[in-house]
Amino acid sequence: MKTVLITGCSSGYGLETARHFLAQGWNVVATMRTPREDILPRSERLRILPLDVTDPASITAALELAGPIDVLVNNAGIGAIGALEATPMRKTRELFETNTLAVIAMTQAVVPQMRARGSGVIVNVTSSATLAPMPLASVYTASKAAIEGFTGSLAHELGAFGVRAKLVEPGYGPSTRFSQNTDLRIEDVIPPAYAEFAGPILAAFGQPALVTVEADVADAVWRAANDTTGQLRFPAGPDAVALANTR
């Protein structure tokens, strides 16, 4: 029976992905900063562990408790929108610390065991913002685009050892983390000079024509984790699929 470790399982994509893998009969290690036992079905195949992906000591402790894993899903992330000139550098560093450096750190920590076994899959969850330019999301996009390049290179680097690297690219979902997990108010990051430009864009964010839901992402992660065709990118959600098809 295979084991998957998923980061960021307290809500959204990570929570739904953990439920999906459990339903498929896998052993699931669901990690989150503050463990909650009430959000996932009780199962002898489930372990819920504390993990702060930005803390090296926390990564080491979680992986020691998890034991051997077949699939790592780097899902934990934060979102932010706003004009670049109004985005504090502390927020930029926070985005890269969580969305970029933490993914690299988690991956680096599990590669030795996978390489030694000659098998394993690393699934990195990015964003459809990497598929087409999105205004008012430059820093967020940069943090995710870095992982796109990282994963593509890693797929070649680890393929020689039987380890696969995959990308899941979720579309926009108003209920997901893209506009959450931030301490910045919209009026802080949209200066008056940008009001006329930003108005229609923010309205479109609120009423998108196509919406990605958590189940779309969980399904894409499942397909990526089990893919043996060499496919690298797995767009998730109708808007992401549409963007990928026009890329």
Strand partners, 74: 124
Say which of 13, 140, 172, 194 is annotated catalytic.
Answer: 140
Torsion angle of C-alpha atoms 62, 65, 71, 76, degrees rounded to 10: -20
CA distance 118 to 169: 26
Known active-site residue 140: yes
Sign of CA dihedral 227, 229, 233, 239: negative
Distances 192 to 28, 83, 178, 196 between C-alpha atoms, Å: 47, 11, 23, 8
Is there a contact between 240 and 39 (Cβ–Cβ < 8 Å)?
Answer: no
Residue with tokens 């820093």: 139
Strand 120-125 and strand 163-170: the pairing is parallel
Phi/psi of residue 230, each to 5°? 95, 0
Query: 107-139 burial string, b = 16+ CB within 10 Å, else e?
Result: beebbeebeeeeebbbbbbbbbbbbeebebbbb
- Which amino acids are annotated catalytic? 140
